[in-house]
Amino acid sequence: MTKQKLKIGLLLDDHNIPAWVYKMVEMIGSSKHSEISLIVKKTRVTNQNGDSAFRRIWRNRNVLLYKLYSNLDYKIFKWKPDAFERKNILNLVNCKEIEVNVGKNLTDDHLLPEDISRINEKPIDVFINIGFQSLQKEVIKIPKYGIWTYRHDTYQNGITSFSGVWEVLEQEDITEATLEVLTADGNKILYRSYSHTDELSVYRNKNNFYWKSSSFVPRKLEELYRLGEKTFLKNIDQNNTELSSVANKKLKKAPGNYEILIKIGANYLLALKRKVRRMFYIKQWILLYKVGTSPKIPKSFFDYNRIVPPKDRIWADPFVLFRDGKYFVFIEEMLYAENKGKISVIEINKNGKYEMPKVIIENNYHMSYPLLFEDGDDLFMLPETGANLTIELYKCVDFPLRWEFHSTLMENVRAADATLFKYKGRYWLFTNMREVQGASVQDELFLFYSDDFQNGTWQSHPENPIVSDVRCSRPAGNIFEHEGRIYRPAQNGGKHYGYGMQINEIVTLTEEFYQEREVQSIHPNWAKDLIGTHTLNADGGLTVIDALIKRRK
């Protein structure tokens, strides 16, 4: 028997909705689990005499500089596709619509009893709120699974949530995007994701996490449909953190004129200082290694030896293989003048003496992260080929210098740092992905599995993305087993790309469930010139990491 789709209602303030909302509705409409059944659109009762230009200016006098800054920010930092471009939902959805009148109060959408009765006539499982505020309990009780709303909704008539604004103004590392459910019993968090905060532009910052947010509702609706009511609600109660009213007040506060002058001025001054520093310094990825007995999960790197490339290139993403009494370190090598990575190999003996890298794989697109994977007597490599919108597999035909293209595991995907791991007879593929164009590839980790990694079909894990946090999502090296436990190194891109690493223990890995927990954080704090570190691998007693340093030109 075919399972009935979830009935979804939309609470809108206008038919012309932002592009990120349009994308969300489009994803719901094309899904197998849900369908849009009702639109409730508000019509605000306004003063028939209108509002003069002077009154509008006077009413917004304390935030005039913010509005000016927003307009300049939009013009300077173009972003395509634009998450806030307006699109008419009637071009996408054909369903019943109810118009309701609300009062003049811009902070409260009070519905009349007769309107509530009309809405209640059609059974709805979930209402998605895009534009209503402070709804009555009688409205909140209508949908079976509550009203789902984003913390960063934008409302008409100038009422705007300032999520993504203060993070830039205050130079915070992380911007949070949240989906919550409003029920008669209070608010609960349904989904939470973290992105790196743009250092300069509010417009760019908001575009990234608004585009990413368009996937939140479809993902949770699919989960509700797949797990069923009992398990879904139980999971929410187990994993939920109550919303902070203090945090909500902060997000709704508009930056005043003085704050804009001080904070935006400070941000641009900092950007100018960075530009001046780039005139005298370069940022360069180097390698660090240690030969001999070392813990499987190192806690410090102060005694590691450096391998520093010439000033015209970087060496990064080291992967290690011990063969015939020698260590072979496969790396990304990129010349600044070319701005295109290739795969090279460095040979190191047991005394730590090394030879200059030799190029082994080069294409007309960027390559990096040369993950090594042994299967029987065969040796394979999954270099990152995201610039080609593929995940490619190469096979070694004459170790260590000759490699041949074997197959394309996935195509038409924006993926980064694919990491293959064999567990209980099955192959697991971890990779960061961008699900929606306009969002960052840094934030979300996806998991796939197959019985045949060379030519098989990859099944998407039902909990994808299994991680949605820029501080611990992107892979940072081989997944490894130690003392009966499985560990996954991950990049921490909170402060900036490649800032640090986090070692996570994989607690659960099945076709239905995934869970991991942090066991160690690695920060670039053991030398003064360090800026970042983002790859860790070991084999046969050699541990190699990379590090980003600041170096005079």
Domains present along the chain, CATH in parentheses: 6-273 (3.40.50.170), 280-552 (2.115.10.20)
Measured at the alpha carbon of residue 433, what is the angle toward residues 430 and 434, in degrees to the nearest 5? Answer: 170
Residue 53, pLDDT score: 67
Distance CA 531, CA 500 (A): 9
Distance CA 484, CA 462 (A): 26
- Ranges of beta strands (E only) in 13-162 are 16-18, 34-44, 86-88, 96-102, 126-130, 147-150
Question: What is the pLDDT averaged over residues 236-257?
Answer: 62
SS percent in the chain: helix, strand, coil, step 5: 20, 40, 35
- Number of residues in the chain: 553
pLDDT in tens, 12-55: 999 999 999 999 999 999 999 999 999 999 886 555 455 666 77
pLDDT tier at 155, thresholds 50, 70, 90: very low
pLDDT in tens, 366-416: 999 999 999 999 999 999 999 999 999 999 999 999 999 999 999 999 999
Look at residues 256, 44, 277, 20 and name the one whose alpha carbon lies nearest to residue 150: 20
How many beta carbons lie within 10 A of that of residue 76, not counting itself?
A: 11
3-state secondary structure of 96: strand
As given in the structure block, the two tokens for residue 90 are 């009637």
Look at residues 29, 180, 157 and name the one whose alpha carbon lies nearest to residue 104: 157
Which letter, b or e, does each residue of 421-454 get, where b requires 16 or more Cβ atoms within 10 Å of its Cβ? beeeebbbbbbbbbbbebbbbbbbbbbbbbeebe
* Mode of pairing for the β-strands spanning 34-44 and 6-12: parallel
Is 70 exceeded by the pLDDT of residue 418? Answer: yes
Residue 52, pLDDT score: 66
Place of tokens 């790197």: 301
Distance CA 16, CA 539 (A): 57
3-state secondary structure of 487: strand
Q: What is the pTM of this model?
A: 0.94
Residue 107, pLDDT score: 55
Look at residues 551, 553, 552, 549 and name the one whose alpha carbon lies nearest to residue 301: 549
How many beta carbons lie within 10 A of that of residue 523, not counting itself?
A: 14
Residue 102 makes CB contacts below 8 A (sequence gap 6+) with 42, 43, 44, 45, 109, 110, 111
